[in-house]
Amino acid sequence: MRTRAAVLRRPETEYEIVDLEVLDPGPGEVLVEMAYAGLCHSDEHLRHSNPGGRYPIVGGHEGSGVVTAVGPGVTGVAPGDHVVTSFLPACGHCRFCAAGRSNLCDKGATIASGKLPSGTFPFRLDDEPLGGFCMVGAFAEHTLLSEFSCVKIDPWIPLDTAALVACSVPTGWGSAVYSGGVRPGDTVVVVGLGGVGANAVQGAVHAGAMNVVGVDPVALKREFAESVGATHTVATAEEAVGLARQLSRGTGADVVIVTVGKMSADAMAGAMSCLGKGGTLVLTALADRPEEGNVSLGGQLATVFEQRIQGSLFGSCNPFRDIPMLLRLHEEGRLELDRLITKRYSLEQLNEGYRDQAAGLTVRGLLEHSRA
């Protein structure tokens, strides 16, 4: 069928809104009419460089929608079901899925190209096959997904807030709870308080942290972080160093979570200087280009202070377990989702939405596909 989507034709360009073809679902595939898509910063990295991937590509990976058709053999979802996209497919059977680490599922190997596990590219633009970012392509009005990327949710859950639970919420929350292993009484520093970092604050609070220090140069982000449980906020990591030391009675932060928009050597150095004895540094942020994420470490200090460096993909969450669980926490009034959405955009306004993000005007922007 024909659909509309935001496509990046080349790096360093803006999204172009185009008509293109989305394929019918093959075995194990699901056609979804997308309702909402969050404006995650990872799509901004895609706009600058797509290592291991290819252009053109349909952007968007943080979405929600309704199943309209399924291919042969699909058993997990049926037409009419509401789904949240998982930007990491989970097959359930590979070694990592079997061990409860489905964020590292082997089927995720082609997410940069958007090629589905079946080997199919879901879209065609002027007869050229193309993929959707993270095998999702949430900036398309209709998209074709692997069944492994479709997490069914209860039909009464509003699809707008549900979209955020596709990436920023579990990534941030899990960066604190799972990747960082925050424990009751801990002092936690979250560096970068956007869509992901605000949820790292919520995760740290849930895990029982005594002090949650949020760091962001933008006042709006700091105010929001305080409204979801940050006990202190500051504009720079330099200010957080002394604060973390004082709050922990001299030892430094137990967990520091790096959720800045762009990973950099500076951001890493600032975060590392907040980290205390026995502490864990969680690296969640990505860079525009992989080499810009190369960072240096105080190796000697890490040795004598027994510090850990922990990478975090999707907050070490398991999509089919944690997406429904986080939505349940929201239903019970224990997790803020609604206020994370600062502003809504139509597909045509997508570039404006990312300009607003860069200007620090939104905690999370949301693309509303039905918006005129």
Ligand X SMILES: NC(=O)c1ccc[n+]([C@@H]2O[C@H](COP(=O)([O-])OP(=O)(O)OC[C@H]3O[C@@H](n4cnc5c(N)ncnc54)[C@H](O)[C@@H]3O)[C@@H](O)[C@H]2O)c1
Q: Which of 83, 97, 207, 366 binds Zn ion (CB under 5 A)?
A: 97
- Token pair for residue 7? 């496509």
How many angstroms separate the Cα of 350 from the Cα of each of 17, 193, 225, 371? Answer: 9, 21, 25, 12
Residue with CB nearest ligand X? 194
Q: Which residues ranging from 150 to 179 are in contact with ligand X (CB under 6 A)? A: 167-168, 171
- The span from the CA of 193 to the CA of 258, in Å, is 9
The answer to whether 91 contacts Zn ion (rule: CB under 5 A) is yes
User: What letter would DSSP give residue 24?
Assistant: P
- The span from the CA of 101 to the CA of 105, in Å, is 7
* Residues touching ligand X, count (CB under 6 A): 33
Q: Which residues ranging from 186 to 245 are in contact with ligand X (CB under 6 A)? A: 191-197, 215-218, 221, 237
Nearer to Zn ion, 159 or 240 (CB): 159
Q: Which of 165, 230, 313, 350 binds ligand X (CB under 6 A)?
A: 313
The alpha-helical segments, DSSP class H, found in the chain are: 41-48, 95-98, 159-164, 168-174, 195-206, 219-227, 237-247, 265-274, 299-304, 319-331, 350-358
- Token pair for residue 55? 């252009």
Q: Which residues ranging from 151 to 190 are in contact with Zn ion (CB under 5 A)? A: 167
CB of 358 to ligand X, least distance (A): 8
CB of 173 to ligand X, least distance (A): 11
Residues present in the chain in total:
372
86-94, 203-211, 223-231, 343-351 -> range binding Zn ion (CB under 5 A): 86-94
261 binds, among Zn ion, ligand X, none (CB under 5 to 8 A by kind): ligand X
Q: In which region does residue 249 sit, left (phi positive, over 0), alpha (psi from -120 to 50) or beta (all else)?
A: left
Greatest Cα pair distance in the chain: 63
Q: Which of 284, 307, 318, 349 binds ligand X (CB under 6 A)?
A: 284
How many angstroms separate the Cα of 287 from the Cα of each of 87, 180, 294? Answer: 18, 20, 9
Orientation of helix 41-48 relative to helix 350-358, angle to 10°: 100
Q: Which of 25, 30, 36, 41 binds ligand X (CB under 6 A)?
A: 41
CB of 168 to Zn ion, least distance (A): 6
105 binds, among ligand X, Zn ion, none (CB under 5 to 8 A by kind): Zn ion
The answer to whether 312 contacts ligand X (rule: CB under 6 A) is yes
Nearer to Zn ion, 240 or 313 (CB): 313
Nearer to ligand X, 195 or 252 (CB): 195
Q: Is 339 helix (H, G, I), strand (E, B) or coil?
A: helix
Q: Which residues sit at the interface with ligand X, rule CB under 6 A?
A: 40-42, 45, 167-168, 171, 191-197, 215-218, 221, 237, 259-262, 267, 284-286, 312-314, 357, 360
